[in-house]
A and B are shown apart, each in its own frame.
Chain A
Amino acid sequence: MFWNLTDSTRKRQSVVCRFPNGKLVLYCKGADNVIYERLADGNYDIKKTSREHLEQFGSAGLRTLCLAYRDLSMDQYKSWNEKFVQAKSSLRDRDKKLDEVAELIEKDLILIGCTAIEDKLQEGVPACIETLSAAGIKIWVLTGDKMETAINIAYACSLVNNDTKQFIISSETDTIREAEDRGDPVEIARVIKESVKQSLRSYLEEARRSLSNTPERKLAFIIDGRCLMYALDPALRVNLLGLSLICHSVVCCRVSPLQKAQVTSLVRKGARKITLSIGDGANDVSMIQAAHVGIGISGQEGMQAVMASDFAIAQFRYLTDLLLVHGRWSYLRLCKVITYFFYKNLTFTLTQFWFTFQTGFSGQRFYDDWFQSLYNVIFTALPVIMVGLFDKDVSASLSKKYPQLYQEGIRNTFFKWKVIAVWGFFAFYQSIVFYYFTAAASQHGHGSSGKILGQWDVSTMAFTCVVVTVNLRLLMSCNSITRWHYFSVAGSIAAWFLFIFIYSAIMTSFDRQENVYFVIYVLMSTFFFYLTLILVPVIALFGDFLYLSLQRWLFPYDYQVVQEMHKDDPHEYSMIRLPERSHLSPEEARSYAISMLPRENSKHTGFAFDSPGYESFFASQQGVCVPHKPWDVARRASMKQQRQQPQRTGRS
């Protein structure tokens, strides 16, 4: 007859049904803690058994729900319905009023039982997370699931392993349960806040100690949504941030979407780090928008995350490609393009600058107006675009094989002041070479006919050298040169010559355009032109070449070492089809598969989250047999023993 929609804040959904015989029943399903809060007194054994089952399911890594019901009389329903309709049509605070109204009817429920769902992780997620951790990216998990489920997920993703020291702040401790039983909300809040404060402080000290004594031991911090609410208080936020940043991985469970966004903003503003959020559902939208880079996974949960994100990918594992391959290349290309752009304009302008000293500081321009305007548009524009599109320091597979290369971006290696200063120095050096060598060489420079060159001849000569040098310098700084690079560099230089041939051959009525009339033909009739054209670019690039050789030999960057290590690898194409059939025999395939199984002996197997291909938990409970794969047998045998242990010790 009506239903309240589920939302992640309420964490429950109810529906009122009318049976054919007139009976009204309210059915409610939701997360276990919210349902348990609203149960009627009594029925202690069913509550206890259900709680045990829930813990079992959680340890097995399944997502759990509780079901409950309540009988309603017609009067109760009618009076409640009036309030509900009023709340639904209110203009202000509609959600809050609906919440309050729902609270009125969703109480004194009777527990039916609980359900568990197996939710498989996508293929390749653990590998992806390991790679990203190796790249120096800290990974936090923010989920709405229970703590046990979240911890299981963390194990499955290799964020946490048996050696990791775990700092857990949970709202299910005994002290808090006692306060809850007493029922005073102010008291509960105070108790929780106190306990969170104490835990944060002691964990922070412990973590710092662990970091200084045993730095290679990983630390993990696990907190649940209720405690997080108090931990995000301005008073406790600093400790929270400090502890989170020390730990290698952070898991927040039972968080609401708002808290996801709050945690993200905490890191973004408090720690001033670049944050990236990735999510696939509508409850991730606020988190995606709060981070610097928001990524949505398009898929089964709809397109809201995708629509709110900056980048959308189809599967989680594509994140490695996005960050380690394309993100890294993008950083490299951006740095190269920007520094090169400033360098070429600095060279070009400083050459003019030196001229001012010899014009009596009158401000006479060295170059013709059109040269200056078209410099950045035609003569040096296209090659740098090619570099920005195609430059690769190492190939895609090597980028993923050496994730530590990503650190270059984190440390901002290619855009430090030192790097810019070096480019600036060489721009300065080259401008001196261009100006003085051309001017000095032309002082008595003239053709064999004895005729003298004027100002515009000298400036055209210098400009030709600038264009040639600047384009060749780009080739020198490329890591991979495709034929488009050759075309664009040769094309730019050819465009310059074409332009000057045409420009200096026409006579228009615009005043003072004839300064450069016929200049290039005059120049090209002298040997001086060719000698200078060979000499000056070589001298100008000489300094850069020397620097690059010394830098690569004595202080190589990481990517340069990787390039050398793999310099004989063939060029990779992603479309080359690998042979479909493996060349291994079945025996070899089985022993290979077994050898690839993880060897850990742990209570948390992350079993439910393993990749597709493994048999489902429920099917095995029901005794439904799926054709066994040979390597499953070994794993299954080791599994059965472990699962019996928690049942025996159990929680009392």
Chain B
Amino acid sequence: MGSQGGWGQSKEFLDLVKSIGEARSKAEEDRIILREIETLKRRIAEPDVPRRKMKEYLIRLVYVEMLGHDASFGYIHAVKMTHDDSLLLKRTGYLAVTLFLNEDHDLIILIVNTIQKDLRSDNYLVVCAALTAVCKLINEETIPAVLPQVVELLGHSKEAVRKKAVLALHRFYQRAPNSVSHLISNFRKRLCDNDPGVMGATLCPLFDLIKEDINSYKDLVVSFVSILKQVAERRLPKTYDYHQMPAPFIQIKLLKILALLGGGDKQASGHMYTVLGDIFRKVEASSNIGNAVLYECICCVSSIYPSPKLLETAVDATSRFLKSDSHNLKYMGIDALGRLIKINPDIAEEHQLAVIDCLEDPDDTLKRKTFELLYKMTKSSNVEVIVDRMIDYMISINDNHYKTEIASRCVELAEQFAPSNQWFIQTMNKVFEHAGDLVNVRVAHNLMRLIAEGFGEDDEGADSQLRSSAVDSYLHILGEPKLPSVFLQVICWVLGEYGTADGKYSASYILGKLCDVAEAHSTDDTVKAYTTSAIMKICAFEIAVGRKVELLPECQSLIDELSASHSTDLQQRAYELQALLGLDSQAVESVMPLDASCEDIEIDKNLSFLDSFVIQSIEKGARPYIPENERSGMFNIGNFRSQYQHEASSHSLRFEAYELPKPSPPPTVAQVALPLPTTDLVQMPEQTYPRETHQAANLPSATHASSADFGVKLRLEGVQRKWGRPTYSSPSASSSSSTQKTANGATHLDGGGTASSQTRDSFYDSRRQQAEVSAEKQKLAASLFGASTVKSEKRQPSAHKTPKGISTSTEKPAVKGAISSSEPPKEKTLPSSPPPDLLDLGEPTPASIPSVDPFKQLEGLLGPTSAPSAIDHSSAAGPKAPDLMALYADAPPAGVSSGSLNPALADMYTVNKNSHETANVAAVKKGPNLQDSLQKDATARQVGVTPTGNNPNLFSDLLG
């Protein structure tokens, strides 16, 4: 095979590959390929290119495109080649076309006809080639053109064709579910195909269908279970074995399907217990594929209606995964654990040390999976440790995508489970500091809201303590060299609102800091806008209490600079600030009241204070006001603007007609009532600033309008919620909110929690000094899992934990260790249970329930179509037993089993963990091939593809 595959290309192609292999730089490679493209362009355009030459050109084109260069000039020739009669050329044409074109390409229309013809061909290999092309090239519009033929092929006499036809239909379903919705019964029919391969292929579309609509397929549970049972009992022909496992891929698909069907359905799950137990017992856990099936079993057990016995088995299997040396299995173990703790959170405790090991593993994938697990098992007792760990990890990585994800998870957990406001703010600071530009801006607004609203429980003392600690920490953080913009905005806002509130810092000190910020971030207009507003607030508060404000020179120069700014927004702020400085204390106080950021302000929507003015005007002969909905043909500004913004943000064409103007919603009233200096100008980018601060500068009522504007985000009237809005918190948020409140109450009582966080810090410090690694890990485990298995006293110092443990009923009291240690014989129970018992229980012979057996029903449908296919299986044609799978068992094995033919290969595979051993075996095996290898090696050197000069026998270390 190998030799005849040979180097089926011309010298030119060899030279091309050789020169690319020898290219020293990307630029050189590009030059070579561009030259090649020129050659190909010339050659292809020549008249009467011999077809075989053309085939080679096409392959070279594919190669060129694989290296990232445009080969579109040759697409049409690939299309032409699909029309060729020779199978070789046709296949090459199809290959090139499937690699070049997408299903919406203009040229597809030229191929559809050929595909139609080929699907009807007598030669099944042509049909197969066409089906491969169908999968890749047919889009929603062209499906109807080939659909009848593909459906017809479901009854083809060759099982390879039937298999591909099923998968092609599946592809149609994925592309356009509606186009094949009337054909779904075909999948059910094919489920009882004579060929297990076709049956296996049918599971793919059925899996997708069931995922969409579980209830319509509940009737198939019994069939799936009986198929799985027969597969597991090795009743398929030996050819379906893979590394001594009977049809593992079919088993995996079936287990995935059963997991879907059994979810929360006690009756359906009941059918599955026996077969799952069987598989757990039979699976060969020494091979990779065996573990794959085992893992799928665990997933299935964890998603169906729980059976205590199976759960125990699943937990055992999971712990074997976790204890394994293989990173792959550990990864699967962590994933399985994440599924199992949904059913019983206590399961994690047994494996705490294994989990900690994975957390500290150098393997990044494993680490991330473990963080995912931790995220799932976070509760208020371990949130601090977990979030601390997450933040540490977040700081250490560079991958922005994952950084964003983990940052948003930190925020979510902190919002949901924070033991104290203090801790919450500190955590948020850390998140902002290290991933500020990646977190959602709403998180920043949330933080500001939290600081402004405080506890919301009429305890001004604690609130102001919180604020001053926030101010302290921010003044400290401002010393850091590089801070993200969003974080600076928060800092400026907090400093502006509360910087001087407790009298600890003088106004000029805060003003100086703010000026520094503006100066250091002179390119960031948003930050500058926030600083200007903050400066204005500080000045206003000073004036309001009657103190004289002496503007620092740098402050003055900042204002001067801003009032000449290109940004109209900054200009306006600067002028407003200057105007405010000239006002007397009373005016200032009403313009900028102290700490009024979350006062509710009533909005007079009817503008009744203008009534007298209106009457006066009408008396003077002005035209009366006509409400907007009575006018026609006029856009209202609010609508227009929102539309404009919508379009600008989506950057796409709108196909639907423009909506009719609607009566203006309340927010637009606020907008109209405000002076909007920018609307009459060209739309400036500044328009997108959070309007809050911008308007806060204008009038007291502006603060109102802005908070009304922001209402959805910042204000939650009447609802006592401290962290987390519905969009942030996971479904469990609502249930946990009550416990959270009590937790707050508790921490609140013991005085803010400063002490607790300090003790925590010192706890960490002392921990770091300890040399003994295992003790450290155990402690971490204890803090993570909240278990008392290891020195629970160590955990006590964190004072706020104690009240919480009492107040929250959902938490486990720390006596788990005792319980778990009292139940060691768990593991013993399973093996001792008599296996025949399990088998007998579940033997759901389809005949026993004839009225509901889908197999029986389908058989009737199947009658005529299955007749021709039955001829193939000459020996099995006769018995139409209800037990269809028996057919496979009876059929003579098509070939010698792969396992027995090449046991060496299989053996080697199983020991591939130990590469040394395998290498030895391989070396022995390779004896007769030595000459081969040498020759190849020489060729490799000659052509220069393997510059490392390695032995070109790549797989020698794994395969013979």
Q: Say whether A and B bind each other.
A: no
B interface residues with partner A (beta carbon < 8 Å):
none
A interface residues with partner B (beta carbon < 8 Å):
none
